Structure formats: C-alpha cells, structure tokens
Chain A
Amino acid sequence: MQPQEVQPIQLLAPDGTLAENEVYSPYIAALSAEELRELYRHMAVERRLDAEATSLQRQGQLALWAPAQGQEAAQVGTIAALKPTDMVFPTYREHAMALYRGISPEQLLTMFRATRHTGWDPREHNFQVYTLVLAAQTLHAAGWAMGINQDLRMGSIPRDRAEDEIVVACIGDGATSQGDVHESMVFASSYELPMLYFIQNNHWAISVPTRTQSRGPLVNRAQGYGFEGVRVDGNDVLASYAVATRLSGEIRAGKGPKLIESVTYRMGAHTTADDPTKYRSSQELELWEGRDPIRRYRSWLSSTGDADESFFEQVDADAKDLASDMRKSVLALEPIDLERVFDTVYSEPHRQVEAEKAWLKDYEAGFAEETNATEAGTTR
C-alpha cells in the first residue's frame, strides 16, 4: 500500500502571496499590524541568534549547538497562538519558542556552553528545560496535563484560571519513533488531557530521513489514538499561527488532545557535531531554500503596507545588537560550582553525597596547604 499524502494547510505561498481559507483566514484577519510585525521580529531575531551561536560553537565557545534555522515560522507561529500560562515542554531545538517566552540568549545558551545543565527557571516562563533524552518530556507533559485536570476537579488551582491552561509537548520527527510518544498519546487520549502535540517534521533525524520513522504522514498517527491531527506548512508562519490557534482553542474548550504535524526543514546540521552534506543532497537544500519562512513572510508583510523598509532595517539592527550582546554575555557565563552540583542531587540530606562533598573539600584543601608550604619554602 502506498502511503497516503496529506496536503498541509498553507496560507502563504513560497512567493509571498496569501490564499483565502474559509477556516483559517479569519484567525489571521484578527491580527493587528503590530502583531503581524512581531511575528517577523521574533523569527528574524532567532535566526540571527542561531547564526551567532553556530559561530560561537565553531570558535570553541560552545560545547554544542543545535541550529533551528528554517524552523522559525513553525515555532513562532505556534507559540504566538498560545497563552503565557500554557506550559511548554520543549526538545532541545525550540530556540524561537524559548526567546518568545522571554528566555534570554545567555540563559538559552547556558547548557550549550556546558556551564550548567539549564539556564532558566521553568516556572518563570512556563517553559520547561531542554531535554536531550528523546521524547521523555512528552510523558512529563501528560503528567502536567493530568495535574491540570486534577486541579479543576479538586478546585485546588495553584494559579489563576487553570481552565485556560493547556500543555504543549514538542517533538521532532525522529522522536516520534520513541515508545514514550506512544505512551504519552495513549495517556492523553484516555484521560482526555488538554494537550497539544507539536511535531516539527524537519525531515531529518540527524542523518536518517523521516520515511524511516514513518511510511505515512506523521499527522495520521493522531487518528490511531482517537484525536484530531492537522498537517500544516511549517514554513508558513500565518498558517502555523492559525492552525495552532484553532486547535488550542478546542483543547481549552475541553475537547481533549490535538496534534500538529508542522512540515518544515532544518537548514543546518542536526547539531554542530554532524555534517549534513554527507547525508542529504544540495538539490534538496536548494528546494527548501526556495521555501524560506522568513523571506516568504517578509515579502508578504511588505506587500500589505503593514511594514516598511525602515521596520525591517530596524529589526536587522536590533538582531545584530542582540547577537553582539549575546556574545559578550555568553563568554562571561560563570560555570556552576561542583559544590552546588553536590547540593542538588537530593532535596534532603543524603549521607553518601555529604561524605563525598566533604572528602573533596579536604582533598582540595590538601593541595592548598602544599602550595602554601611551597611558597613559604621559597621565601625562607
């Protein structure tokens, strides 16, 4: 049987022309000129930050970087459709979403500079920490969503308007092969959890193409679990926004989980550790360059008169400033102290951890005494 193709929802064509869509166009029509410009700003800033981070890694200033270039529209369109109270469980490539939620560039890069495992407080931004174990976070998202339902039933709502909260579980196309995704979707469906699965199908799981994860479109998986899925052109920020707005609205209305397969493309490497020229063709890359999300949106936005050349110049200048500030702040990041790592293994005292911490202190103090003795010796 041949896999069935599903046309993604697209409003904005690669040439920047906007199509009418009975269901989705009204969501775009409701956006103000300022909101439309903000979508552009967020995408442009992320791309600049991404380029700067890639270069920092090449210069040995970051241990690793996972570029998101090409996925700006998928991420910005989706997160713009959410409320600040919605909890996001990201992978390790949701840079545009993180920045949108107010996480600073240096907080974002902390893990990649290996000074700490994480750089931000998830509660401040309703944005969980990055996860490197694929798909593990989809179950945490299900648990969080169970907590929302529990809060509603018990009337013990820890924040305002829990009935407005939904949970977004981000995954890549590669991670859809992980068993935890299946278990998470079973939980979400069976307990009717307020969850949005946001799959960014960027076509490559490091060097392995999506067809090795799934012969059919990933969006079709939702059906198997008994909930709705929508395939969207992830390089179209307007369609991404419209689809996420409609689905998140339905989730808020108590209609259970939904799924988005956002068809996009990772322009760069999986991480700075791999070389995409070894596994994908230059023709493929050219094809997707032609579908660039930022260029497409810029072309449309200028045509509407909502943004003029000076706006784009200002955004470029701001992004450049941000990148240069980021370079300084990232280089200044202080590594976590190993004592602090000992202190957070457990919440409560644990005698083996305490004993090892004390041993290290004594051991290192021994060197200090030796050094002092040597110095004393030379001055004698």
Chain B
Amino acid sequence: MSAIKEMPMAKAITAALRDELAADQKTLLIGEDIGALGGVFRVTDGLQAEFGTHRVIDSPLAESGIIGACIGMAMRGYRPVAEIQFDGFVFPAFNQITTQLAKMHNRTDGKIKVPVTIRIPYGGHIGSVEHHSESPEALFAHTAGLRIVAPSNPQDAYWMTRQAIVSDDPVIILEPKRRYWLKGRVDMENPAPDAFRAQVLREGTDATIATYGPLVPVALAAAEAARADQRSIEVIDIRSISPLDDETIARSAAKTQRLVVAHEAPTFGGMGGEIAARVAERAHPRLLAPVLRVGGFHMPYPPSSQEHRYLPDIDRMLEAVERSFSYQRGV
C-alpha cells in the first residue's frame, strides 16, 4: 500500500485523528455529535465505532463544558481533541480558552501542561446562516499561550493535526470548512513542514500575496490570472497564525517589494494589520508600497446571500496588487 494517497481535506483530518488515537491511548476526542453521527462535517466518521464511546466522546451541548473538561483531562495527562461544531459557537467557550487554557501553564509557573487541541471548522462560503461562517483567529491570536494554525490543503491538514495533538501547548486548528472537499495528495510518511512555519507555495518576483486557510487556493488562482498581465506573483501560505512566521513573509516582501495580506476576517483589528506592521519593521526600506490588506468588512458576517460580496475573491486580490503598483515612492 502506497504511503501517498489522494483524498479530500476532511478525510485527511479523519486519518490524522485515527492515527493519533491509535498511537497514544491518552488521546481522546470530545465534541457535539462526533460519535454515531461522525460530526456535522463527518470528520470523525467511523472513529467511535473503531475506538469506542470512551475515546470518542459525544459531549453534552455545552461548549464551555467541552473546553473546561478538556483542560481537566489534560491536567491529568490526557491529550483531548475538542471539536467545536462551528466557528460562531466557540464564544461560549471563549472564557475557558482565554482565561484558563491559554494561561494555565504560565500561571502555574510551568508545572501544569494542557495539551488540548481545539478543532474549529471556520470561515464562510458555504451558504449557511449566521454564526456559521466566522473567522475568529485574531481574537485568539491576541491571547498569549495559544497556538493557532490553519491548513489549506490535505497534506497540511493531515500533518498539522498530528503535530497539534502531540504538541504540549494548546493548539487551535482552524479548518477551512469550504475546503473540506478539496482533494489533494497526502504523503502519510513524509511530514509536511513544521506546522508553525509559513511556506512559499509559488515563486514570483513582482509582488507577494500572503494568506492562509480558505483563501490560499484563491491567492494561487489570482497569481495565475496575474500572469496574463505579465505580473509575477509570489504566494505564501502563512499556515501558522501564532506563532507567526513573519520572517518568511518579510523575506518574500523584501524580494518582491510589494505585499498584499488577505484573510476572510474583517481587516480592522485583524491579523493583516499585525503582519503589515511586522513586515514594515523588517523590510521597510525595500518596500515600494505600503502593505495592503484584503479582508472582510467591519460588520458582522452578513447573511450568506451577500457573502460573495463580503469575502475576498480573485478580483479583490488583483485589485490590491494593482493598487500596490500604483504607489509612487517619495518624488
């Protein structure tokens, strides 16, 4: 049997969970509807039948309870993996995540480790109703003590999930739900790069688009479209939001001299601003234009009948690239 398989991202995550459940009996899954149903996105499909109701635990409908209980299990030496059903429903657990999970290791002077993994299907473009399409990464990135990653392809999804579970720190995995059915090759033997590093996915010389999760395929398509206009666009998959691999992004920006950062979350107060500031600090003399941001608007996620206008697409990314070219340096 070959170690390289073609599969959708959701199945890659299932495979990662299965492999970690098999590797360490201290690893447990807990979440709403993850057992018999296999989760609303079927990511845990079949795992309860394989590992039992005590390793794949259907929880009461209580997000704070799920995360709080994970903290207690982790204190006792388990490696719980929580599933939050949808991004917008993580907020009942926000207190447990930010005041407890993120801080436990620090407030106990390193005596307690809480290796909890939180999987959150996140982001829009699935035509759903409110609270089912949000991008809460900046709220968590602002909290020290949490690690946050967002895979964009099956290979990363498989390995990032495994690396998150074995990490001794709490890790939030933002799973771009609109990419669950995106197929790709997964090499089960050779790990993807370190989950906490960015990756240059496409080399270019004229400008860089840096993004993560659901927008990575959009950025790749934008770069391809720009080729027709003789623009050579470099694409970076940021992959890790905390820690942020600002070095890799800045190096690319210094090379191409123009940077556009894109995410689905609102630009105001978002990760794009943080990245822009960091890249400006590192690469300012080399930049020919300010770092530009492409993202959601300063509004609650709109009714999904309007999400096509809210979410960044190829055209919005290309518009930002062109805007970047329109800047003139100090005449």
Tell whether A190 pairs with B60 under 8 Å between CB atoms, given A122-B111, A153-B54.
yes
B75 touches A144 (CB 8 A): yes
Confirm or deny: B110 has a beta carbon within 8 angstroms of a beta carbon on chain A: yes
The 4 closest A-B pairs by CB, nearest first: A143-B72, A139-B68, A183-B65, A147-B76
How many chain A residues touch B (CB < 8 A): the figure is 48
Q: Is B145 an interface residue (CB 8 A)?
A: yes
Does A228 make an interface contact (CB < 8 A)? no
Please, which residues of chain B bring their CB within 8 A of the CB of A186?
A: 60, 62, 65
Across the interface, do A156 and B168 meet the contact criterion of CB distance under 8 Å? no
Q: Which chain B residues lie closer than 8 Å to A353 at the CB level?
A: 144, 243
For B68-112 the 0/1 string (1 means CB < 8 A from A) is 111111111110100000000000100110011000011111111
> Can you sample 17 A-B contacts with CB below 8 Å?
A116-B109, A122-B111, A133-B95, A140-B68, A140-B72, A144-B73, A147-B72, A150-B78, A179-B64, A179-B92, A180-B64, A183-B60, A184-B68, A187-B59, A345-B106, A347-B169, A350-B147
- A158 close to B62 (CB less than 8 A): no
Residue A146 interfacial (CB < 8 Å): yes
- In this assembly, does A206 line the interface, its C-beta being within 8 Å of a C-beta of chain B? no
Q: For window 235-294 of chain B, which residues contact chain A by CB distance below 8 Å? A: 242-245, 247
Q: A142-B72, A351-B245 are in contact. Are A156 and B25 (CB under 8 A)?
A: yes
> Count of B residues near A, CB < 8 Å?
48
| Interchain CB contact under 8 A, A158 and B76 | yes
A187-B77 contact, Cβ under 8 Å, with A129-B107, A143-B72:
no
Establish whether residues B75 and A140, one from each chain, have CB atoms under 8 Å apart when the complex forms: yes
The residue from A143, A153, A345, A351 contacting B69, defined by CB atoms under 8 A apart:
A143
Cα–Cα distance between A121 and B107 once the two chains are bound (Å): 11
C-alpha spacing A187/B58, complex, angstroms: 11
Quick one: closest B residue to A145, CB to CB?
A: B72
**A344: CB under 8 A from chain B?**
yes
Contacts of A143 in B (CB 8 A): 68-76, 80
Residues of chain A within 8 A (CB-CB) of B74 are: 143
Interface membership of B219, Cβ < 8 A: no
The smallest beta-carbon distance between B123 and chain A, in angstroms, is 24
* The one of A122, A138, A343 that contacts B110, using a Cβ cutoff of 8 Å: A343
Among B65, B111, B144, B243, the one with the most A-chain Cβ atoms within 10 Å of its Cβ is B65
Report the minimum CB–CB distance from A212 to chain B (whole Å): 21
Q: Which B residues are CB-close (under 8 A) to A184?
A: 65, 68
Asked whether A136 lies within 8 Å of B108 as measured between CB atoms, the reply is no
On whether the beta carbons of B65 and A142 are closer than 8 Å, the reply is yes
Dominant secondary structure at the A interface: helix
**B113 interface residue (CB < 8 Å to A):** yes
With a cutoff of 8 Å between Cβ atoms, the chain B residues found around residue A344 in the complex are 105-106, 109-110
A187-B169 in contact (CB<8A): no
Structural contact, A352 and B242, CB atoms closer than 8 A: yes
What is the CB-to-nearest-CB distance from B49 to chain A, in angstroms, rounded to a whole number?
17
Chain A positions within 8 Å of B167 at CB level: 347-348
The reply to whether the CB of A341 lies closer than 8 angstroms to some CB of chain B is yes
0 or 1 for each of B29-63: is its CB under 8 Å from A? (1 = yes): 00000000000000000000000001000011010
CB 8 Å contact bits of A133-169 with B (1 = contact, 0 = none): 1001011111111111111011010100000000000
CA A336 – CA B107 in complex, angstroms? Answer: 11
Residues of A within 8 Å of B247, CB to CB, are 351
B67 CB to nearest chain A CB (Å): 8
Contact B73 A187 (CB under 8 A): no
**B28 sits at the interface (CB 8 A):** yes
Bound-complex Cα distance A142 to B78 (A): 14
B243 with A352: CB separation less than 8 A: yes
A139 to B70 CA separation, bound complex (whole angstroms): 9
Q: A340 on the interface (CB 8 Å rule)?
A: yes
Contact of A133 among B80, B92, B99 (CB under 8 A): B99
Q: Is the CB of A187 within 8 A of B145?
A: no
A123 at the interface (CB under 8 A from B): yes
| Distance, CA A195 to CA B260, complexed state (A) | 53
Contacts of B70 in A (CB 8 A): 143
Distance of B179 from chain A, by nearest CB (Å): 26
Q: Does A361 contact B (CB under 8 A)?
A: no
- What's the Cα separation between A150 and B80 when bound, in Å? 12
Cβ contact within 8 Å between A345 and B144: yes
Q: How far is the CB of A182 from chain B (nearest CB, A)?
A: 8
Chain A 209-234 per-residue mask, 1 if CB under 8 angstroms from chain B, else 0: 00000000000000000000000000
In the complex the two chains form, is B145's CB within 8 Å of A346's CB?
A: yes
Q: Do A347 and B105 form a contact, CB below 8 Å, given A142-B68, A144-B75, A145-B72?
A: yes
Chain B residues near A25: list those with CB within 8 A.
none
